[in-house]
Amino acid sequence: MKFTKIALAAAFTLAALGSAHADLTIGVVQPLTGPASGLGIPVKNGIMIWPKTIAGENVKLVVLDDATDPTTGVKDAQRLVTEDKVDVVVGSSATPVAIPMADVTAESGTPQLATSPAGLPPGKDKWFFRLPQSNDVMAFAMVKHMKAQGVKTVGFLGYTDAYGELWLKALTAEGEKNGIKIVGTERFARADTSVTGQVLKLTSANPDAILIVASGSGAGMPQKAVMERGYKGKVYQTHAAATQDLMRTAGKDAEGTFVVSGPATVAEQLPDSHPSKKMAVAFVTNYEKAYGAGSRNQFAGHSADVLTVLEKAVPLALKKAKPGTPEFRSALRDAFETMGRTVIAHGVLEWTPQNHWGYTNETGVMLKVVNGAFKVEQ
């Protein structure tokens, strides 16, 4: 388990104010190192600029690095629920880490706000809520765009882990509804440094489009491999690639790529009628004031949305119990399910006892890389 010096300092600073109230203790588990660090660091950065109190309760942060490793993530979660007795766990942004963490948080009765679109078996997500949009919702937006582009066949190039498999399932189901067929399926590990063999197989099938399922800086390598083989069809990427890392790592080979995303990444481009525009602009303004122009991304937006959710749910839970108790954790979980329609930077969220994803099919926004920047597809 790895602490970050900045996170530790923030935890002590936020807790040092002293109050008659119990601290609201928030455990944060993010990939701050390893292949998914490009996802976890923006989340951590966003959390570091949160206010010092939520609903009048002092905020105490405990931030741990899962190193993009499921075993480490589980150990981090165990430490948070047993030693720190946190009121809620935020993380992980790495799907293969967030999933096994869920066993720990559920057993301890601690709400978990995942910052990855992690799928759990039916009935296993009682304590588990997602801030990212579901792959099904994002696949809806992507396939709608593919259909409008005349795409009939797709090659799949994705991670071997849960994130890749969940996207393959979502794409297959949505594609079948719209007359789009997957004609090749190739996989690679997050740590792989080459996908030449996989790309050769896919391009030989000559699909109309290739979907790359990768995340953060890891999305650049397969992107370059596809383009360097001279592929002339359309290339799509998922919302885990909706970061500047795609352009940074793929360079000119990212040009023209279509990426599905939540609305927060393109706040200024949203029409005034979009329900999330105000929240998205506020997120971008605050985040880029702290970390510089162009630093926003899909995952940084989730940190702002976690705060919005907590600011709405914590007051409801406080009516029943105080932080630091099992009763408060249970009340907070119940509040997530019953707080109703909540506008956030990434869309409109409405969790229910039956749905801990909460987003509608209108959520996904299709972007295109144009001159090294994301532009909303009209």
**Bridge partners of residue 349, in order along the sequence:** 342
Which CATH superfamily includes the segment(s) 135-261?
Response regulator (3.40.50.2300)
> 63 with 91: CB under 8 angstroms?
no
> From CA 338, how far away is CA 359, in angstroms rounded?
15
Buried b (16+ CB within 10 A) or exposed e, 174-203: bbeeeebebebbbbbebeeeebeebbeebb
pLDDT at residue number 21 = 54
pLDDT at residue number 129 = 98
pLDDT at residue number 351 = 96
Q: What is the pLDDT of residues 13-27, one digit of tens each?
A: 444 444 445 799 999
Give phi and psi for 74, each to the nearest 5.
Answer: -65, -45
> From CA 269, how far away is CA 287, in angstroms rounded?
17
Of 165, 342, 138, the closest CA to residue 240 belongs to 138
Half-sphere exposure of 53 (CA within 13 A, CB side): 11
Count of positions (residues) in the chain: 378
Q: Which amino acid is at 33?
A: T
pLDDT at residue number 6 = 47
Of 61, 66, 49, 55, the closest CA to residue 86 belongs to 61
Which is it for the CA torsion 173, 178, 179, 181, positive or negative? Answer: negative
* Longest Cα–Cα distance in the chain: 67
Sorted by where each begins, the domain ranges of the chain are 2-133+280-349, 135-261
| Helix axis angle, 298-318 to 326-338, nearest 10° | 110
Which residues of the chain, if any, have pLDDT below 50?
Answer: 5-20
> From CA 128, how far away is CA 118, in angstroms rounded?
10
Buried b (16+ CB within 10 A) or exposed e, 245-273: bbbebbeebbeebbbbbbbbbbbebbeee
Q: Which ranges constitute the DSSP H helices of the chain?
A: 5-15, 37-47, 70-79, 95-108, 135-148, 162-177, 196-204, 220-228, 244-250, 277-291, 298-318, 326-338
Tell me whether the CATH fold assigned to 2-133+280-349 matches the one assigned to 135-261: yes
> From CA 93, how far away is CA 177, in angstroms rounded?
30
pLDDT at residue number 173 = 97
pLDDT at residue number 248 = 94
What's the token pair of residue 195?
């996908």
* Cα separation values, 371 from 105, 215, 247, 374, Å: 43, 21, 10, 8
CATH for 2-133+280-349 (3.10.20.600, 1.10.730.10, 3.40.50.2300, 3.90.76.10): 3.40.50.2300
